[in-house]
Homo-oligomer: A and B are copies of this chain.
Amino acid sequence: MASSSSLTLSQAILSRSSIPRHGSTSTSSSLSLPSFSGLKSTSSSAVIRRRGPTTTRLPIRASAAVEILEKTTEAELVEKSVNTIRFLAIDAVEKANSGHPGLPMGCAPMGHILYDEVMRYNPKNPYWFNRDRFVLSAGHGCMLQYALLHLAGYDAVKEEDLTSFRQWGSKTPGHPENFETPGVEVTTGPLGQGIANAVGLALAEKHLAARYNKPGSEIVDHYTYVILGDGCQMEGISNEACSLAGHWGLGKLIAFYDDNHISIDGDTEIAFTETVDTRFEALGWHVIWVKNGNTGYDEIRAAIKEAKAVKDKPTLIKVTTTIGFGSPNKANSYSVHGSALGAKEVEATRKNLGWPYEPFHVPEDVKKHWSRHVPEGAAFEAEWNAKFAEYEKNPFLQAYTPESPGDATRNLSQQNLNALAKVLPGLLGGSADLASSNMTLLKMFGDFQKNTPEERNVRFGVREHGMGAICNGIALHSPGLIPYCATFFVFTDYMRAAMRISALSEAGVIYVMTHDSIGLGEDGPTHQPIEHLASFRAMPNILMLRPADGNETAGAYKVAVLNKKRPSVLALSRQKLPQLPGTSIEGVEKGGYTISDNSSGNKPDVILIGTGSELEIAATAGDELRKEGKAVRVVSFVSWELFDEQSDEYKESVLPAAVTARVSIEAGTTFGWGKIVGAKGKAIGIDRFGASAPAGKIYKEFGITVEAVIAAAKEVC
């Protein structure tokens, strides 16, 4: 099943916009189809490793990082560099009078070693594909990363950015944001998200390496580093993601656990006394303990070396540090976590660490020492090369007619996913243990597993939150990767924090959410979404799509795939639905459109509006009313966000302001529909929890029926 695309891997994965946004949340509608590579994707589940393009290869000098690691810098200069990092953080937080100095002060040594001695990156091209990825999962300590990016020569963080930390329009917001600051890989701050993102980044590396590397041409070959704190460790999401990382044997994931025994409420003894090392061993990780993270540079170096030597397991390096190291009166206390030190304590810390410089000063020798990263980074990138081919657009979406057999949109979804997988080599994903219910298996591929990382069906287990955040990591690893993930729609509640970060960080994850209403029947109210459609319609920069049949499901996938910087949620039915006359892919792209109409002059007597499984009800009610002589327009309102983006003229052509006789029907809350149907219209929905019974019975009991629509229509017109 060779794809006929003609973009090469390198072209595709390099093609990342480097224009950060501020003030814009919408994505361009002129995006082309996602490019990924012209490389063959696998057509069987057999393990065929190291296949790839027959292109010229520039062999990477394999162990550049290791070489650097061995050649350690003069001890005194290292100490000076580490203190530079500490004081950049102290000074920036002090000037902003807001922020978190404690972590940067404690983690400066590991930060220094990573960015100065270990990691391979190109400061002048933060999007160089084969860079090592770094994630600060303890995102509140972002001044650590800003200081490091500054020293390393990234253009995004100049001195004026440090002095405008946390200010309007700066490149140094209060938590790391990939869309603001090139050099930042993912958006962190909400605890635990970052470590899960890192699992996704490491998964992407392992997957791409397995698919595209050839002996002697390891074009995909980087590490993923992450710093996480006690807070991240307590969050359930981190256990979910780290259990998977151990299961998958992500040997190039190296996590530094900043073990400082302090969280916001005080000593971790008050709520966190588990044995983290043992837990990670149970999760299948290699664990190393660096007992002196404050000044034990060689310990840290040795740990990284050991971690790299363990190739079949991710490594947790527990680094015991002192939060706020260097502050004579505030170190090792929660007071240094999230507030400026205050002028007096800053002075005392300067004295204590022997730091005679002005705020924001970088000593010349430190500056000189770090200056090598710009040419070195350029050399890394120059060494790395990749080939070209061209990706060819294919008509890849299924077409349906009213004669096509009716089906559940979850089944139609599977047909589309499988069709897309053939032409989108970067499409991969899976379900949280509901593959056979969500219908998300890519039939021609095997499972992504420890020993079959080139495969494209990811088995997430029952770990929704981890799943979402891992997909964010995959999406932000390479622009050609399109991750999708699936569960029951109601369980978006388990992963909402990760989904919000998809939206915020412009990670175009596709969320395939089946069993989208009371229509799932007997599983009952714990499994029946009610408020979920509204809750995503209210969230910025995420597309909520609820297709009604085959054409609309195809349209929803088209929209989802094209919106690379905006995640999509597809709400799909468990129950079978008929193919409706009038539905279309093009209609879906407009968000709302007329599927049938017997009125003229844009003046129907009544407009019936439905989504998903209830569009059929609206259509049937429309037919009945027409038999009684009414001029009825039936509108599919598959995506409110897309409709909002249409021209006023188009909107008026679908929902003319003069026609106030409107009835909506949707098997979910009526919350939000008031604006669509207006004060004189009527919204039919469910403003209570569901019930356990066969679907048909529940629809009837809750009044989600053709009769109800007809009655409401007669009431309003």
Q: A residues touching B (Cβ–Cβ < 8 Å)?
A: 22-23, 25, 96, 98-99, 139, 166-170, 173-175, 177, 187-192, 230-232, 234-240, 243-244, 246-247, 263-265, 268, 270-279, 281-284, 334, 431, 433-437, 447, 449, 459-466, 490-491, 493-494, 496-497, 500-501, 503-504, 521-527, 530-531, 534-535, 537-541, 669, 671-676, 678-679, 687-689, 691-694, 697-698, 701
Contact = CB atoms under 8 A, between A and B. Distances in A.
A459 B278 contact: no
Contact of A274 (B175, B284, B465): B284
Contact of A431 (B175, B265, B282, B535): B265
Task: Name the 8 nearest CB pairs between A and B, nearest first.
Answer: A236-B236, A674-B675, A271-B461, A173-B692, A168-B693, A278-B282, A189-B526, A174-B524
B433 A263 contact: yes
Contact of A283 (B274, B697, B701): B274
Contact of A526 (B240, B264, B273, B501): B501
Contacts of A530: 538-540
Contact of A433 (B231, B447, B537): B231
B435 A265 contact: yes
Given A236-B237, A265-B435, A334-B436, 15 more contacts: A25-B689, A166-B522, A167-B692, A167-B697, A177-B525, A190-B526, A191-B462, A235-B236, A236-B236, A268-B461, A274-B283, A275-B284, A504-B525, A534-B538, A534-B672
Given A96-B522, A461-B263, A693-B167, A672 B538 contact: yes
Contacts of A99: 522
Contacts of A166: 522, 524, 692-694
A700 to B, nearest CB: 9
A175 to B, nearest CB: 5
A186 to B, nearest CB: 11
A538 B671 contact: yes
Contacts of A531: 535, 538-540
Which residue, of A283, A503, A525, A541, has the highest number of chain B Cβ atoms within 10 A?
A525
Tell me which of A22, A174, A268, A698 has the highest count of chain B C-beta atoms within 10 A of its own C-beta: A174
B234 A491 contact: no
B264 A436 contact: yes
Given A265-B459, A526-B501, A537-B671, A190 B494 contact: yes
Nearest to A283: B274
Contacts of A237: 236, 494
15 contacts: A25-B689, A174-B523, A189-B523, A190-B490, A236-B240, A236-B463, A236-B465, A246-B273, A275-B281, A277-B282, A279-B282, A530-B539, A540-B687, A672-B675, A674-B676
A270 B447 contact: yes
A98 B521 contact: yes
A466 to B, nearest CB: 7
Given A263-B433, A524-B189, A692-B166, A282 B271 contact: no
Contact of A239 (B189, B190, B239): B239
A275 B247 CA distance: 11
A281 to B, nearest CB: 7
A649 to B, nearest CB: 18
A484 to B, nearest CB: 16
Nearest to A532: B538
**Best-surrounded residue of A99, A191, A466, A675 (most CB of chain B within 10 A):** A675
Nearest to A697: B168
A216 B53 CA distance: 80
A168 B701 contact: yes
Most chain B CB within a 10 A radius of its CB, from A235, A237, A465, A501: A235
Contacts of A525: 173, 177, 504
A274 B284 CA distance: 6
Given A274-B246, A524-B174, A462 B493 contact: no
A614 to B, nearest CB: 17
A449 to B, nearest CB: 7
Contacts of A541: 688-689
A668 to B, nearest CB: 9
A538 B239 contact: no
